[in-house]
Structure 1
Amino acid sequence: MKQSLLISIYLLVTYATSIAQQQAEQSQVKTDTIHSEILKADRAYTIYLPRSYDTQSQKKYPILYLLHGLSGMNSNWFDKASVKQVQDQLVASSESVEMIIVSPNAGGDPETEWNGYFDMPGWKYEQFFFRELLPHIESTYRVIGNKQNRAVAGLSMGGGGSAAYGQKHADMFGSVYAMSALMAIPADRFIPQNQTAPSKRQLLTKSVIENSCVDYVANASEAQKEQLRTVKWFVDCGDDDFLLDTNIDFLRAMRAAKIPLEFRIRDGGHDWLYWHSALYSCLPFVSRNFQP
């Protein structure tokens, strides 16, 4: 009887230890905030930490900055595209490496909230991203913190943002994956109804025109083109997407400049079903380009 009781206790302890270990080895998704002196506001970000983050306390990780679209928020990639589940699956199948993934908030209702990844009057988001957010993330979490182990990706407005960040900060990113990207807007689309006080949406439109990814390549100097060749580029857009033409314009500009680019047109439109499926290409792509 005594021996049976000891065996039962041993099995119970072993089971509890196993459960605790499994829980400790799960990937995590957290949301936190950073106060920005540049924006004079708190900004939220959602971050994915790989399963080994708590158990291998000396290990550092590559990082992917994942940007949402117009009117989106930092949690969208996790709530609507299941980034955690997709990354966990790809790591388990050795198609993706363990990495930290962070999605910052650059949006909300475009009629009342600031949107966009560029600097504009009243909203110096690009300065915030590179001078405050990125240093905060890479000093708070165990990030390797060099070009070869840093990537940026995004959808729609965030796809254009990721491409523009890769262009203007080519020394900081080893790879860029742009999905259904807002690469450019024709200049005649910016017609402010109120010249003295344009709306937040109008200022966003103007900022995209001024940061046209297509124009950047077309007007790039030889030195800038050489910098762009140090980045691995992937553009992915659906055949029913209203932004397909501007993505093709970007492809043509890159080819004319002799800058290598992987380009895919797949079946689909401008929606979360498409962007969820794109993760199965995006995460392995950035993984292949990370350098230990």
Structure 2
Amino acid sequence: MPLPRWIGAAALATLTAFTLLAPPGETETRAGGTLTTGSAPSPALGGEAVAYTAYLPAGYDRGSARHPVLYLLHGRGDTMQAWTRVKTVLDDLIRTKRIPPVIAVMPDAPWSERGSWYADSRYTGSDLPGRKVETALAHDLVGHVDATYRTAPIREARLVGGYSMGGAGALRFALAHQDVFSAAAVLSPAVYTPLPPGDSSARDYGAFGEGAAKFSDDVYRELNYPALLPELDPDLPVRMFVAVGDDEYANPDPADARHDLDFESAALYNAARRSPAVSAQLRVLDGGHDWTVWTPAFEQAMAELGPGLSVTPPAGLPAPLHGTAATDWAGGVAAHADGSLTVGYAAGGPVAGQSHAGRLDAVITRTGANGWTRQLGTAADERLYGVAPLPDGGVLAAGYTKGDLDGRHPG
């Protein structure tokens, strides 16, 4: 965990009261799912293994079905044991069918004195030699899990989550590895823009270092989300749930207020939601930088993101697309007695050979044997927000114009 240093120690102290895990390779069964431990060989770490705890849903040992996988990253100073406290949350979510039965993998990250920030470090100092932690987890561990458990080796079946330093890691993994993960639960992320404050432990462990320097401004900017968002592939959409407490650590220097985690989380959300490749949500919960926030935040994140996880590869769209190669906005659909549909939307270009007036035009398309398209627009924006069928077979459409469609209602 990142801020301040005593937070990590306090969090570790709370863990000592929690149940101990079974020895490596053995399992521990409580009501609901099962916790087991294992290790994944990692070429990225020179053959060193990645230790992990795995949650297997109830009935896993008796079934044959494949399952989505959650990869849950712990905070700075913590261990893989930290995430085991959400076992009962997963049990309840699965039992009540709010999410499908999932496997949860909780890797241990001991490198750089448990301050790796889940990055491929370039720091070469002998005290904290950099390790390729990102590659080890996002590639080697994922491959091992797919080979060991009944998973689906597709991005649609994988979610990455984390809190604090782990939240920063989950954000990085989801954006830098769109081909691997389709969703991210980003809780109280220790991520800062444009650079961490001077007293942040993100500067101390070599995660963003280079050569003999433990921290490099250029490396941090290169790995941070503002550099990743413009490069995302819209054809590999990422669903993101960001949550933070309303009483998280406040930087003592007023000049660093911009780096308070509630502020940084809101900035992340507002940047991510503007990417065509990301659908993002933000929650601000009552509490601080601890499990009073992360436990309910994880439950809410899973309730939102979990139902969208799928072990079935996408098979294409069940119906034809409407729109243009530009940016279009759905507005509404009306069903008619003859089986046809009317689709209303805003289009950024010409549709069905009609003229494009400029910016966004309002478009109404009727499907079926006698289908037609009508495009209405001005040099400004037009948007449709709804269409409704009429008794005579016609349709009523409603929206707005920033132009003057009829010459009598400018703006």
Trace 1:127-166 onto structure 2 (pairs within 5 A).
127-166=135-174
**2:66 is aligned with 1:48:** no
Trace 1:1-292 onto structure 2 (pairs within 5 A).
26-40=32-46, 41-56=48-63, 58-78=64-84, 82-107=85-110, 112-113=113-114, 115-121=116-122, 122-184=130-192, 186-187=194-195, 189=197, 199-200=205-206, 203=209, 206=216, 208-217=220-229, 220-221=230-231, 224=232, 226-227=234-235, 230-241=237-248, 242-258=260-276, 259-291=278-310, 292=312
- Does the Cα contact within 8 Å between 1:65 and 1:151 map onto a contact in 2? yes
Task: Name the aligned partner's letter for residue 224 of structure 2.
Answer: S
Higher helix content, 1 or 2: 1
Task: Name the aligned partner's letter for residue 285 of structure 1.
Answer: E
Task: Name the aligned partner's letter for residue 287 of structure 1.
Answer: G
- Does the Cα contact within 8 Å between 1:62 and 1:145 map onto a contact in 2? no
Task: Name the aligned partner's letter for residue 119 of structure 2.
Answer: F
Bigger relative CO (Cα 8 Å, ≥ 6 apart): 1
| Residue 171 of structure 1: how far off its partner (Å) | 2.1
Give the Cα separation in 1 of the matches to 2:275 and 2:172.
16
Higher strand content, 1 or 2: 2
Instruction: Give SS of 1:123's match.
Output: coil
| Residue 43 of structure 1: how far off its partner (Å) | 2.4
Distance change >3 Å, CA 188–CA 251, structure 1 → 2: closer
- Does the Cα contact within 8 Å between 2:115 and 2:205 map onto a contact in 1? no
- Does the Cα contact within 8 Å between 2:120 and 2:134 map onto a contact in 1? yes
Task: Name the aligned partner's letter for residue 40 of structure 2.
Answer: I
| Residue 115 of structure 1: how far off its partner (Å) | 2.2
Q: Which residue of 2 aligns with 1:10?
A: none
| Count of residue pairs the alignment pairs up | 253
Instruction: Give SS of 2:72's match.
Output: strand
Superimposed CA distance per residue, residues 97-138 of structure 1 (whole angstroms, 9 cap, x where no aligned partner)? 200000111237x6x455221101321111112331110011
Give the Cα separation in 2 of the matches to 1:46 and 1:214.
32
Instruction: Give SS of 2:45's match.
Output: coil
More off after superposition, 241-250 vs 205-214: 205-214
| Residue 143 of structure 1: how far off its partner (Å) | 0.5
Give the Cα separation in 1 of the matches to 2:161 and 2:104.
10
| Residue 169 of structure 1: how far off its partner (Å) | 1.2
Give the Cα separation in 1 of the matches to 2:304 and 2:82.
21
Task: Name the aligned partner's letter for residue 253 of structure 1.
Answer: A
Superimposed CA distance per residue, residues 227-252 of structure 1 (whole angstroms, 9 cap, x where no aligned partner)? 56x11111111112241111111122
Distance change >3 Å, CA 92–CA 257, structure 1 → 2: closer
Give the Cα separation in 1 of the matches to 2:293 and 2:198.
29
Give the Cα separation in 1 of the matches to 2:305 and 2:54.
17
Task: Name the aligned partner's letter for residue 292 of structure 2.
Answer: L
> Structure 1: any 5+ residue segments left out of the alignment?
1-22, 192-197
Superimposed CA distance per residue, residues 129-184 of structure 1 (whole angstroms, 9 cap, x where no aligned partner)? 23311100111111112111111111111111111111111122221110101232
Give the Cα separation in 2 of the matches to 1:141 and 1:54.
10
Task: Name the aligned partner's letter for residue 95 of structure 2.
Answer: A
| Residue 88 of structure 1: how far off its partner (Å) | 0.8
Distance change >3 Å, CA 269–CA 140, structure 1 → 2: same
| Residue 257 of structure 1: how far off its partner (Å) | 3.5
- Does the Cα contact within 8 Å between 1:225 and 1:257 map onto a contact in 2? no
Distance change >3 Å, CA 147–CA 85, structure 1 → 2: same
What is the Cα-based RMSD across aligned positions, in Å?
Answer: 2.6
Give the Cα separation in 2 of the matches to 1:24 and 1:117.
30
Distance change >3 Å, CA 91–CA 261, structure 1 → 2: same
Greater gyration radius: 2
Give the Cα separation in 1 of the matches to 2:208 and 2:133.
16
| Residue 26 of structure 1: how far off its partner (Å) | 4.3
Q: What is the TM-score of this pair, normalised by structure 1?
A: 0.77
| Residue 45 of structure 1: how far off its partner (Å) | 0.5
Give the Cα separation in 1 of the matches to 2:144 and 2:169.
20
Instruction: Give SS of 2:61's match.
Output: coil
More off after superposition, 238-247 vs 148-157: 238-247
- Does the Cα contact within 8 Å between 2:246 and 2:287 map onto a contact in 1? yes
Identity %: 28
- Does the Cα contact within 8 Å between 1:73 and 1:107 map onto a contact in 2? yes
